Amino acid sequence: MISCREIISLPSLSKLNIVAGKSGLDRLVRWVHFIDLPDVVPWVQGGELLIITGIGFNGDLDKLTELVRGIIRKKLAGLIINIGPYIQETPAEVVSLAEQANFPIFELPWEVKIIEVTREISSHIVMKQTEERSIKDFLEQLLLFPLADPEVLIQRAAYYGYDLAKPHQVAIISPARLAEFMQAQKLKDEKALVALKVRFETIIRNTLRHHGRRVLQMLLGDDVVLLLPYENLVTGAKQNTSVLQDIFEKLAAEMPGLAVTAALGGRFENLQDARRSYLQAIKVLRSFSELRTTACPIYAYEELGIYKLLFEIGSDKLAHYHQEVIEPLNDYDNKHHMDLVNSLFVYFEENCNAAKTAKRLFVHRNTLDYRLKKIADITGRNLDNPYDRLTLQLGVIVGKQIAHDSFSFDG
């Protein structure tokens, strides 16, 4: 979909002047309508860019104020007023109303033919929809299936101005606890969910545009998948992480309360390796999406250290290791309704700082000390011994991986 911001950059709209609601230029335009009736509300559904001349108002500009109130309630994308004999200028009351609602209102000189405007906007909308479908199609071919002919995809991407012959990495931006967010926002139906996803994707696209980056992007399920350029080995990772951090800030400002996690797959130079980068990002996302140990949870496969090594080990071996090291604690927890395994995980996350661990678990320090002693007794491992501590830490890490089903991919 396109935004009002894109509309004003079209050649035939060079004389279009925004008079109100500039902060709402990122509103999405579903279609453009020319309807010159005082009461257009029954004839619109939301998302339209409406064009009027005011011929139906018979000089009563109070009707324009009521029209703007109605189309704001109906969630239209914006309003274009054809300035001329029927409306000579946008009334101050209408400007004020639109400013309060961040609703874009534009003035179009009378000499500009409305038919040319509607034709160009409609053509641009159709072209963008076609482009987005095509991009999603070849991204799905690239990332979800073994690649048969990379040259075909490189050529298709080049048609839209993307250079897939250069190194890239896959990024996935995922909204967490989406059902809880929708409930908090009182969004109840499928239409509201679709609108939420479109808004989520649009904020990401606009942020990338502000960074001057052309990035292949698609909405897949609830997630947005990006193919980020990564040419410079020294600065590429830092640049991509910085862009994701900015995206997080924009999402936090425009969709407050929505928890978001991002995962980055490894860098690849050959298009045949794009799917591997995608699967790496999926593994990272499934492993860390619920942890959110930082305010800006961005996890890169290339920076995972021990986790990266674990990803490469067969799931059977990891399951056997977990069974041997941690399962006795799980058995004790289940039998005695304790929380030893989680306590151990938090203890390691807090760098073995007992005071911080107790605070995070909402337990007394003596309770934590008792649990740590019980862990040592059950496992036969001494938490003061570096080797034993590493053995247990790997055990709980593997347990988290298994719980998130991170090893179901063989890419």
% the chain with pLDDT above 70 = 96
Give the largest Cα separation in the chain, rounded. 90
* Residue 402: pLDDT over 80: no
Rounded CA separation 123/126 (Å):
5
Architecture of domain 2-121: 3-Layer(aba) Sandwich (3.40)
| More reliable by pLDDT, 127 or 314 | 127
- C-alpha distance across the termini of the chain, in Å: 33
305: left (phi over 0), alpha (psi -120 to 50) or beta: left
Residue type at position 18: I
* Residue 378: pLDDT over 80: yes
pLDDT at 408: 41
Per-residue confidence band for 214, with pLDDT thresholds at 50, 70 and 90:
confident
pLDDT tens per residue, range 130-187: 888 888 998 999 999 888 888 888 888 888 889 998 999 999 999 988 888 888 888 8
Per-residue confidence band for 358, with pLDDT thresholds at 50, 70 and 90:
very high
Average confidence (pLDDT) over 311-323: 84
CA–CA distances in Å: residue 4 to residues 23, 46, 50, 113, 124: 11, 14, 11, 19, 12
Looking at domain 146-304, its CATH class is alpha beta
pLDDT at 411: 41
Between 1.10.3720.10, 1.10.10.2840, 1.20.1440.230, 2.40.50.100, what CATH number should domain 315-403 receive? 1.10.10.2840
Sheet holding 78-83, edge to edge: 17-20, 105-109, 78-83, 48-52, 31-34
Q: What is the pTM of this model?
A: 0.71
Beta-bridge mates of residue 287: none
- Which tokens sit at 141? 């071919």
Per-residue confidence band for 297, with pLDDT thresholds at 50, 70 and 90:
confident
List the domain boundaries for the chain: 2-121, 146-304, 315-403
